Amino acid sequence: MKERQVFINGRFVPEHEAKVSIYDSALMFGDMVFEMTRSFNKEQFKLQDHLERLYASIKYVHIPIDMSMKEMEEHIYETIDKNDPLFKKDDEHRVMINVSRGLLSLYQDVVGVEKGPNLIIADFPLRWTVASMGPLYNSGINAVIPSQRAIPASLLEPKVKNRSRMHYLMANIEVSNYAGENNWALLLDPDGFIAEGTGDNFFMVKDGKIITPEPRNILRGVSRKYVIEELAPQLGLPCIEKNIEIYDVVTADEAFFTGTPFCILPVTSINNMQIGSGKMGPVTKKLLDTWGQNVGVDIITQIKKFGLSKKPGAMNAASPYSFKQKK
């Protein structure tokens, strides 16, 4: 096998042949839910939590998928096993699970495409996602508040992990034009409280307490849950969910983002106003070190090493954080 294989509706196809119809509801409406996982030492991390959230999303949006969670898990591991021979020894598996509604009735029996929901399981090296993030553990992120607000649950349920993410994109486009480097969007909810990043959750530390936004208007991240329910208790650190204002962040001792691919990244300023010492804080470092000890991986070293294998030169395409056309 010379090419990664993708699981689609019960069969494996070469990655370049993995397709959905132009009439799929995912393309028509962004009508797709998904999860993305990662491994440590090629062992999947919190896969059950990801699957539980995926099936909650499937239920909420009424996609009639005929597959149990256990069967889904088996197909994920089948996909990983099939692709692992093509991975480098130090690679980690980044699994992407997409579930769409498929063709709407208007297009069935017209275009000759298989009916029913589409389940797609892809597996690619984690280094693709994190290769450029190594320097952020030293510099930290400048969180920028864009004009784009988080969409509240009263309008579109953010706890459903879905592909209808234009508001995230618009926030990133705005922030990409902000002066300086390492700028990541941090959205406010309609009431002006800190909500979330565009694919990551936010935490701050004040007087030894870890504080994170209330979960009503955010995607409740798997990494967020791990920090709140496991890491913080393991270290004897109180963790509080509450409304956070920009003022609170500016006057915090430290701050960080959590996300599946990078685990934890320090946030060292907000709108270019320094947070704490302007470097990764001791609580953030302790959480990250303990996470690494728990999974048997030096997380910072691994991600920085992935950065060394990054191909030189800039690609002529947008990234999640840059939208300027490159020549």
- CA-wise closest residue to 271 among 137, 138, 142: 142
pLDDT at 325: 55
Question: Strands 183-188 and 209-212, how do they pair?
Answer: unpaired
Paired with 225 in beta bridges are: none
Instruction: Find out whether 189 and 243 touch, Cβ atoms under 8 Å.
Output: no
How far is C-alpha 145 from the chain's CA centre? 19
66-93 residue pLDDT tens: 999 999 999 999 999 999 999 999 999 9
**What does 285-311 look like in DSSP terms, one character per residue?**
HHHHHHHHHHHT--HHHHHHHHHHTSP
pLDDT at 319: 67
Entry pTM: 0.95
**What does R_g of the chain's alpha carbons equal in angstroms?**
20
Measured distance CA(302)–CA(283) in Å, rounded: 20
95-133 residue pLDDT tens: 999 999 999 888 887 777 888 999 999 999 999 999 999
Measured distance CA(124)–CA(104) in Å, rounded: 30
Is residue 217 scored above 80 in pLDDT? yes
